[in-house]
């Protein structure tokens, strides 16, 4: 009996010790981890790295919601690591067509140090020297697998990506697509079930084909670069 009681005490003590060492702020394993750096022609202002969910239609960045913040290391290069522990908020989800896989997109950004969530919406118009974003990548979350031969597969650069987080390059389309390429693009989207009414209205084949950007999947370990003083790249001028 004494030996059994002693053994029980040892087990209980071990459990208590382990519980005491648990970090109350532990969020679990991240769903995605992204690495990056901040570039500037001068000294860095006080800032943090951030991930911002985009609530408006692509490729706009005027309706944003803060996802997470991360410190930027001092020195050269100034680096950061962004980790997301949860799926996107409901307001960030969109779909290309009824019944298509739902997705949400985010951009990595540099934001003023100490920013609060309610201040994020004002950043694009504020011309704050401590704000910029990476226009060359989207962080995309897919709620379900993308079917082959679907509009969403075409939109994602021709890859039927699986559920979860992905990093995509945003490639600008400069000027108007040549007529022969446009008609081939329209024919491909019609084959995938996208309507073509002869206009470039949103949701039509010509609307997608004339979009000022294309997407290209890349690996999650591709480094993100935030350039203070400008956000070149991402989306080209619209075709008139």
138, 206: one domain:
no
Distance CA 126, CA 130 (A): 10
Distance CA 65, CA 84 (A): 14
217, 101: one domain:
yes
Segment 182-195, tens digit of pLDDT: 999 999 999 999 99
- CB-count burial class (<10 Å; 0-12, 13-18, 19+) for 82: buried
139, 223: one domain:
yes
163, 181: one domain:
no
- Band (pLDDT 50/70/90 cuts) for residue 126 is confident
Q: 66 with 117: CB under 8 angstroms? A: yes
Dump strand ranges (E) for 29-159: 32-39, 47-54, 64-70, 78-84, 103-112, 132-133, 137-142
Residue 5, in any domain of the structure = no
Segment 201-222, tens digit of pLDDT: 999 999 999 999 999 999 999 9
Segment 38-80, tens digit of pLDDT: 999 888 999 999 999 999 999 999 999 999 999 999 888 899 9
86, 110: one domain:
yes
Question: Domain span at residue 205?
Answer: 176-211
147, 67: one domain:
yes
Distance CA 26, CA 48 (A): 21
The pLDDT value given to residue 165: 97
43, 137: one domain:
yes
104, 130: one domain:
yes
197, 121: one domain:
no
Count of domains in the chain? 2
pLDDT: is 51 or 240 the higher one? 51
Residue 61, in any domain of the structure = yes
161, 192: one domain:
no
pTM: 0.85
92, 190: one domain:
no
């Amino acid at each position: 009996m004494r030996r059994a009681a002693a053994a029980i005490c040892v087990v209980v003590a071990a459990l208590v010790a382990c519980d005491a060492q648990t970090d109350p702020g532990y969020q679990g394993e991240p769903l995605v981890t992204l690495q990056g750096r901040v570039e500037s022609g001068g000294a860095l202002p006080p800032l943090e790295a951030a991930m911002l969910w985009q609530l408006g239609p692509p490729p706009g960045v005027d309706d944003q919601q803060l996802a997470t913040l991360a410190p930027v290391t001092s020195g050269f290069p100034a680096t950061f690591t962004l980790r997301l522990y949860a799926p996107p908020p409901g307001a960030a989800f969109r779909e290309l067509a009824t019944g298509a896989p739902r997705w949400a997109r985010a951009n990595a950004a540099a934001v003023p140090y100490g920013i609060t969530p309610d201040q994020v919406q004002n950043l694009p118009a504020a011309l704050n020297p401590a704000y910029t974003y990476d226009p060359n990548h989207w962080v995309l979350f897919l709620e379900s697998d993308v079917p082959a031969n679907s509009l969403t597969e075409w939109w994602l650069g021709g890859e039927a990506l699986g559920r979860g987080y992905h990093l995509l390059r945003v490639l600008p389309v400069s000027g108007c697509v040549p007529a022969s390429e446009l008609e081939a693009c329209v024919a491909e989207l019609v084959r995938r079930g996208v309507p073509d009414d002869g206009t470039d209205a949103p949701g039509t084949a010509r609307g997608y084909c004339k979009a000022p950007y294309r997407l290209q999947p890349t690996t999650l370990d591709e480094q993100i670069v935030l350039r203070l003083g400008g956000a070149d790249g991402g989306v080209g001028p619209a075709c008139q």
